[in-house]
Amino acid sequence: MKVLVAVKRVIDFNVKVRVKPDGSGVETANVKMSMNPFDEIGVEEALRLKEKGAATEVVAVSLGVQACQETIRTALAMGADRGIHVLTDVELQPLAVAKLLAAVVKKENPGLVILGKQAIDDDCNQTGQMLAALLGWSQGTFASKVAVNAGDLAVTREVDGGLESVALKLPAVVTTDLRLNEPRYASLPNIMKAKKKPIEALTPDALGVDPAPRLKLVKVEEPAKRQAGQKVKSVAELVDKLRNEAKVI
């Protein structure tokens, strides 16, 4: 079984995000970028399935600017077999990403597609669900455990009330949650080997997809700064401030 893993290039989670002075977006110039942490978990899970003999090939796919190849190389250094890069300078929104991934899936014909449940830059949590709908495949979102059983996929999902177990028919789409696994570090020998692994270059036009944005970003603002706390001398004063100043009671 071939496993396709989508990986996104995002601002590193350790970096303090800064809004551009004109409010047009988030500052990305001279900012450290890395693989989306949820996608990193997805790569790790695909590699574990391969090590168990449930998968035969792991393909990492990234969409976006030329620098996205660095993210693919990271996945290759972790152990993925090859990469696919859909090159475009257009701002990609979830529906466009899902359509591009669907086109890649039809070209590659994998048995399983793994994505992070969301990207830490836009937090949309939409692409996996949209992709499954476009393909007409089974889906298991927010996965904390994945197991392949004789052509079926057993997925334990994290839901509001606890855990939910579902059985999916392959092919399927799975989105990863934080507790699914602990991603491995790429070793130096694997980093060197990754430089020689192939990355296929594609374009939206070649896939027959129009990635034009459908949503317009109006303005980006930083959240209001948290005000300093206040000390009160009595419960009566506390209640008064909560009622008349904070207006929460």
Q: Is residue 160 part of a domain?
A: yes
196 in any annotated domain: yes
Residue range 129-138, pLDDT digits in tens: 999 999 999 9
More reliable by pLDDT, 195 or 151: 195
Q: How far apart are CA 43 and CA 153, in angstroms?
A: 17
Residue found by looking up tokens 């430089």 in the block: 195
Q: What is the pLDDT, as a whole number, of residue 194?
A: 94
| Coil/strand/helix, residue 235 | helix
**pLDDT for residue 73:** 96
As for how many domains the chain has, the answer is 1
**Residue 68: exposure state from Cβ atoms within 10 A (0-12, 13-18, ≥19):** buried
Which tens digit of pLDDT belongs to each residue from 180-204?
999 999 999 999 999 999 999 999 9
**Does the residue 239 lie in any domain?**
no
Task: Provide the 3-class DSSP secondary structure of residue 209.
Answer: coil
Whether residue 243 lies inside any domain: the answer is no
pLDDT (average), residues 169-187: 94
Query: Using one digit for the tens of pLDDT, what is the confidence trace for 46-94?
Result: 999 999 999 999 999 999 999 999 999 999 999 999 999 999 999 999 9
> How long a stretch of residues is the chain?
249
Q: Is residue 35 situated within a structural domain?
A: yes
Instruction: Compare 2 and 249 and report the one with higher pLDDT.
Output: 2
Q: Do the domain assignments include residue 74?
A: yes
Query: What is the pTM assigned to this prediction?
Result: 0.86
The tokens describing 49, both together, are: 């399935």
Task: State which residues form the domain around 144.
Answer: 2-224
Among 16, 40, 14, which Cα is nearest to 27's?
A: 16
Return left, alpha or beta for 139; rule: phi > 0 is left, psi -120 to 50 is alpha, else beta. Answer: beta
- % of the chain residues with pLDDT over 70: 100
Domain of residue 176, CATH code: 3.40.50.620
CA neighbours within 13 Å on the CB side: how many for 139?
Answer: 19
Q: Does 242 reside within a domain?
A: no
